[in-house]
Amino acid sequence: MLLLLAGTGWGLQSCDDGETYAEQRERERDAISAFLDRDVVIRSGDGEELIHVGKINTISEGQFYAQDSTTNLERNEYVVFENTGVYMQIVRKGAGEKLKNGQQKRIICRYTEFNILRDSVQTTNNTAYWLTNPDIMDVTNTYGTFTGSFNTSVNGGGAMYQYYGSTAVPSGWLVPFTYINVGRQLTSDEGIAKVRLIVPHSQGHSDASANVYPCFYEITYQEMRN
């Protein structure tokens, strides 16, 4: 089995043909609002606990910057970016340095994707199958704007490419690069960058965009060896 999926089938959903886009967006907003207020535990299809999200406390961008661009984990804080609707928690800023202007890095990503509307894991590469075949992104910083694509030349593409059939990195996945470091773990007391995101359809992959659903992600970012 290529991907760990919980719930029904592949986890994709088709929208009611009679539902307007405005209604779909309202449904998405309601789903995110409910997700924030729940003590969420994300489980695999066999019931194993993968991530304890907990009840989320949101903070403004102003408060986030006043806290040196950090989110308090004890208070389970997520900053909400008003211009994109993305929510972000920085679990670890990570080893190494921020991606500099004009710089490109090849980055290994390990993730779990939870479809908030379906209340189930949709895809993940945190399984034995994908252990040696993770998702790899080529990310570039151009004057503070980050662009990225999934690399398929190294390993034929990881779970995101194999599942969605696109090399386009969801815009929401690129939001953290302004704030995290991208490097490799060199000592035992270091850790690679790790974030949690709530990504609305407008910042998600093509299927989320087409079907207007939000996803929760837990992602690690690690610089790939040359």
Q: What is the CATH number of the domain that holds 115?
A: 3.10.50.40
139 within some domain: yes
Domain span at residue 192 reads 21-223
213 within some domain: yes
109 within some domain: yes
Residue range 175-197: mean pLDDT, rounded: 90
The closest of 163, 61, 156 to 121, measured between CA atoms, is 163
Lowest mean pLDDT among 15-19, 22-26, 45-49, 110-114: 15-19
pLDDT for the residue 18: 77
Contact 223, 107 (CB under 8 A): yes
CA distance to 77, 180, 193, per residue, from 94 (Å): 18, 6, 4
> Is residue 8's pLDDT more than 50?
no
Share of the chain above pLDDT 70, in %: 92
The closest of 104, 107, 86, 112 to 95, measured between CA atoms, is 107
Maximal CA-CA distance, the chain: 56
60 phi and psi angles, rounded to 5 deg: -80, 165
**DSSP β-ladder status, 120-124 and 49-54:** unpaired
Lowest mean pLDDT among 14-18, 74-78, 171-175, 208-212: 14-18
Residue range 91-101: mean pLDDT, rounded: 95
219 within some domain: yes
10 within some domain: no
What is the rounded CA–CA span in Å between residue 200 and residue 33?
12
> Is residue 127's pLDDT more than 50?
yes
Q: What is the mean pLDDT of the chain?
A: 91
2 within some domain: no
The closest of 219, 210, 107, 222 to 172, measured between CA atoms, is 219
85 within some domain: yes
What is the rounded CA–CA span in Å between residue 176 and residue 196?
9
9 within some domain: no
Q: pTM of the predicted model, to two decimals? A: 0.92
The most confident of 37-46, 107-116, 124-133, by mean pLDDT: 107-116
- Structural domains in the chain (count): 1
